[in-house]
A and B are shown apart, each in its own frame.
Chain A
Amino acid sequence: MMTTITDLGIAAIRNGVRDGDFSAVEVAAAFNAAVDGADALNAFIVKTPDHALSAAKAVDEARASGATLGAMAGVPIGMKDLFATQGVQTTAASHILEGFVPQYESTVSANLWAAGAGMLGKLNMDQFAMGSSNETSFFGNVISPWRRAGGGSAALAPGGSSGGSASAVSARLCPAATGTDTGGSIRQPAAFTGISGIKPTYGRCSRWGVVAFASSLDQAGPMARDVRDCAIMLGAMAGFDAKDATSLELPVPAWEAGLSADIKGKRVGIPREYRVDGIDADIARVWDDGIAWLKDAGAEIVDISLPHTKYALPAYYIIAPAEASSNLARYDGVRYGLRDLPDGAGLQDMYAATRAAGFGPEVKRRIMIGTYVLSAGFYDAYYTQAQKVRTLIARDFEAAWAACDIILTPTAPSAAFGLGEKSTDPLSMYLNDVFAVPASLAGLPAMSVPGGLSAEGLPLGLQIIGQAFDEQGVLNAGLAIEQRSGFTARPERWW
């Protein structure tokens, strides 16, 4: 049993622990060993085997005493290093927060521990969640466990910003992990590594204790092996939190109990603007497969138009950096984190030196763009214009919902690329999120599920976008695809 425990997902572990097939401690020990054996992937910044074991021990004791077990009881998970974890270093993969040990727990992680989950460690990511390849981390690149078929041993990007989460779940180092999604940071890495991930409606998961990037876009969500596991874990993460002013004051639906792959009568919109000129042939094929699967599941396919799609990415690259420049102003060398105080320097020089030493190049680039678009004389031309375009993008979706219930698109424009292939050109990296960003700008729930493999044997994802608050519709369509795609590919262990 010990050799196969790491092949199990959330539901199988929860059920096995509940039924006494194995103990939670056995599960934690198996995954701790898997984590220890995978340093070559660089998926973890900090390992916390004792956290996983003590949470497991508490679950085993609760079961022995006949207590009711939580929704994640006995499931050890990976925690993206963007979530503040009490007593455990939290860096957002930056140098400026190196050594920062939160005195409090983020709401999302606290919810997960209350549901019986334990923590295997803090997962590597793009610095401050800014990146699409996990190449901006101060703690080094995360390596995807996937390799091209017959393509030798070229290191591939796991996607980003939740690259450590994607790599770890795909490599069976943890059954599931938290991610955060500002403009695709759950969905694109899930697609690159052949796993599932959902970004819920903006406000479902509390942002309290999550290191802020772009507050009007940031949403936490689960990354896991399948749709059911995503439903279980999202249920444990979500919920109203008075400490987040944008938290939704709504009950959390019973998403797992509501799962159904029968989507008879559902109208699935196919936005024509996403079928861009020169679309990758593999991507087009998997998209067509997805359409056929949903039709087979009883859905009606309708062509729709989202006319402002091409403006979503440029609007995002004004709005997100603008918010980031404001949010990251807090890193000043005074209250926490790094301080660089050159000899004889005053306060202003200390700020500038600290931030120069503590932020990586991509973070600086975005802070500079954000500062510029918010500066006097340029605010209306850039920032206000972008927010107006954002209104139009949200209206596009509103209009589409008259004709359809959910929308199906590819998750990303290509399969995983090699590390270093795009990192020299910021713009070509940004274009990776072209299909993911519109739903982020509109605050809508969106999910990526595996759809198939590229000609090179790499995973490709399908994205399902739903109406606000309709995570259930998104999950159900995801389940219908999952049951028809027959996706069982997994990376062969080389690490």
Chain B
Amino acid sequence: MSVDSATVTKIASLARIAVSEAEVAALVPELNNILGWVEQLGEVDVSGVEPMTAVITNHLRLRDDVVGADPLTGGGIRDRILANAPAPQHGFFGVPKVIE
């Protein structure tokens, strides 16, 4: 499978990365070069093989169902969460208007 400029434009849109026409033109052969190379995986016989889900067998732990069980990841730290926000407003993350 290979990608054309329309596909690259679509991928960039899905990835939320603005690209110019010149960038798309440069990306088409670059991505095709990489995709052409990974396609050799198609020659591997994987019948009956399960896809890997975890490299080291581990069980899923659940934390105690308590608000603020861990003070580092619990609640009540609004100002610290907003400390690096580019445009915080009134204790919230600020974003451009989304309702016309």
Which A residues are within 8 Å of any B CB, using their own CB? 99-104, 201-203, 216, 242-243, 245-246, 248-249, 308, 310-311, 314-315, 317-318, 325, 329, 332-339, 341, 345-353, 355-356, 359, 364-365, 367-369, 371-372, 375, 378, 381-382, 384-392, 394, 426-427, 441-443, 468
CA distance A350 to B17 in the complex (A): 10
A179 to chain B, nearest CB (A): 19
Given A385-B42, A387-B52, A369–B18 Cβ distance below 8 Å?
no
A332 & B84 in contact (Cβ 8 Å cutoff): no
Given A367-B17, A371-B11, A242–B49 Cβ distance below 8 Å?
no
B80 & A426 in contact (Cβ 8 Å cutoff): no
A372 & B17 in contact (Cβ 8 Å cutoff): no
Q: B63 at interface (Cβ–Cβ under 8 A)?
A: yes
B66 to chain A, nearest CB (A): 13
Assign chain B's interface to a size class: 35 or more
Given A372-B3, A384-B51, A390-B51, A242–B85 Cβ distance below 8 Å?
no
B23 to chain A, nearest CB (A): 8
A308 & B38 in contact (Cβ 8 Å cutoff): no
A381 & B1 in contact (Cβ 8 Å cutoff): yes
Interface pairs (30), CB distance under 8 Å: A103-B84, A201-B56, A216-B55, A245-B60, A246-B58, A311-B40, A311-B44, A315-B38, A317-B34, A318-B41, A334-B85, A334-B95, A336-B85, A346-B97, A350-B95, A355-B17, A355-B18, A365-B31, A368-B11, A368-B27, A372-B3, A375-B14, A381-B42, A384-B51, A385-B42, A388-B44, A390-B51, A426-B33, A427-B34, A468-B56
| Residues of chain B lying within 8 A (CB to CB) of residue A349 | 18
A367 & B93 in contact (Cβ 8 Å cutoff): no
B44 & A392 in contact (Cβ 8 Å cutoff): yes
| Residues of chain B lying within 8 A (CB to CB) of residue A375 | 11, 14
Q: B83 at interface (Cβ–Cβ under 8 A)?
A: yes
CA distance A325 to B16 in the complex (A): 11
| Residues of chain B lying within 8 A (CB to CB) of residue A387 | 51-53
| Residues of chain B lying within 8 A (CB to CB) of residue A203 | 56, 58
B58 & A325 in contact (Cβ 8 Å cutoff): no
CA distance A99 to B46 in the complex (A): 46
User: Which single residue of chain B is at the shortest CB-CB distance from A203?
Assistant: B56
| Residues of chain B lying within 8 A (CB to CB) of residue A391 | 49-52
User: Which single residue of chain A is at the shortest CB-CB distance from B39?
Assistant: A314
CA distance A190 to B8 in the complex (A): 36
A441 & B55 in contact (Cβ 8 Å cutoff): yes
Q: B61 at interface (Cβ–Cβ under 8 A)?
A: yes
A116 to chain B, nearest CB (A): 22
CA distance A349 to B42 in the complex (A): 37
A117 to chain B, nearest CB (A): 21
B41 & A311 in contact (Cβ 8 Å cutoff): yes
CA distance A355 to B19 in the complex (A): 10
B3 to chain A, nearest CB (A): 7
Q: B4 at interface (Cβ–Cβ under 8 A)?
A: no
CA distance A392 to B46 in the complex (A): 8
CA distance A387 to B83 in the complex (A): 39
CA distance A427 to B3 in the complex (A): 17
A352 & B98 in contact (Cβ 8 Å cutoff): no
B19 & A388 in contact (Cβ 8 Å cutoff): no
